[in-house]
Amino acid sequence: MNTSYSINLTDPRIAFVIPCFNEAGAIAEVIRACRINLPQATIYVFDNNSTDNTAAIARSEGAQVISVSLRGKGNVIRCMFADVEADIYFMIDGDATYDISEASTAVSKMINEGLDMIVGVRMEKSERGDNTYRLGHRFGNAILTSTVGWLFGRQFQDMLSGYRVFSRRYVKSFPAAAHGFETETELTVHALELRMPCLEMPVGYFERPAGTVSKLSTLRDGWRILMTIFKLFISERPLMFFSLLALVLALVSVSLVIPIVNTFLDIGLVPRLPTAILAGGIMLSALLSLFCGSLLHNVTLARQEQKRFAYLLVSGPRRLAKGL
């Protein structure tokens, strides 16, 4: 963390951070909308090795362009959170699908209510067409969002939204590990793990401008997000995961051993000795799984404590409200 950075209480520094890959047909519209709705903000476009003239168009519109060589939205977010210094970070996709006319309202809520993250819940608008929010994406988002809510204890409406506003202390405590579009899951879980104050607000969601192409793949990206949820479940909820695994193994072991016990009680012999050994091994695995879960739970608590310390090192949005 840059220790020389100080929060400006009377004029908070706001940064638009826009991840882009081949968005030449949309990026100018996004930059202009950002400038109209939050003219005091600095606009950063993070070009992820685009093969079109996205970077040149962004520069011509007055944005600061930063190149990110490693492909994937997760890699871009890791770079933008490390390189940009601001009090409020407004992240929006560079595809011109999000209505940012309420950007100033979002920033005001962030400051006045002391929030660490605002997530824009996509509300379909059809000015550019009737197929704005594809059914497959909508259904997959609902399933994945519900899964994260069940596993981590809080239900969001739109976990995969690309419209987010972050406080500085969120950004500087976020240990970005994802590579691609699964990064939104990681962003959500980080806020849930540290029990940060968050808010969801409705935002308009449009069809892409004509001539631009979506980079999303419903099945491929959905699978990657599901695997990310599974990995985060193991790393952030190890006691629950390994306890469930221990329960399954114990039930399998008991189901195998009951017929053997009944036979032993009837004839005094154990004719299925290999099965008895297998049942014993599975039960031992169940106990080992429970032990591993308890051990990893303590490791996870230590990691969460370190993230909490990093979070507390940075002043929150409420300090900004005192200067407004």
For the chain, the domains span 14-235, 238-307
pLDDT digits (tens, 9 = 90+) for 40-87: 999 999 999 888 899 999 999 999 999 988 888 889 999 999 999 999
Q: Which helix (H) or strand (E) holds 112?
A: helix 103-112
Residue 318 has phi, psi (to 5 degrees) of -60, -30
User: Distance (Å, rounded) from C-alpha 92 to C-alpha 164?
Assistant: 7
* Burial status of residue 52 (CB atoms within 10 A of its CB: 0-12, 13-18, 19 or more): middle
Assigned token pair, 245: 């695994």
Average pLDDT, integer, range 230-235 = 89
The segment with the largest mean pLDDT, out of 114-118, 121-125, 149-153, 174-178, is 114-118
Kindly tell me the sign of the dihedral angle through the C-alpha atoms of 93, 99, 104, 105: negative
Q: How far apart are CA 33 and CA 39, in angstroms?
A: 9
Most distant CA pair in the chain, distance: 89
pLDDT for position 19: 93
Q: Is the pLDDT of residue 145 over 50?
A: yes
Q: Distance (Å, rounded) from C-alpha 140 to C-alpha 119? A: 18
Q: What is the pLDDT of residues 281-303, one digit of tens each?
A: 999 999 999 999 999 999 999 98
Query: Does residue 262 have a pLDDT over 50?
Result: yes
pLDDT of residue 136: 59
Q: Can you spell out the DSSP letters for 160-211?
A: T-S-EEEEHHHHTT------STTHHHHHHHHHHHTT--EEEEEEEE-PPPTT
- Which residue do the tokens 């519209």 mark? 29
How does pLDDT run across 207-225, given as a tens digit for each residue?
A: 887 777 776 666 777 788 8
- The structure's pTM equals 0.81
Domain 14-235: which CATH number of 3.90.550.10, 3.90.650.10, 3.40.190.10, 3.40.50.300: 3.90.550.10
CA distance 38 to 87: 14
Q: 157-215, pLDDT tens digit by residue? A: 888 888 999 999 999 999 888 777 788 888 998 998 888 999 999 998 888 877 777 76
Q: Is the pLDDT of residue 154 over 80?
A: no
Look at residue 218 in the predicted model and tell me its pLDDT. 67
Lowest mean pLDDT among 1-5, 67-71, 148-152: 1-5
% the chain with pLDDT above 70: 89
What angle (nearest 5°) sits at the alpha carbon of residue 109, between those of residues 94 and 143? 60
CA distance linking residue 43 with residue 39, whole number of Å: 10
Q: Which residues are paired to 205 by β-bridges? A: 98, 124
Q: What is the mean pLDDT of the chain?
A: 85
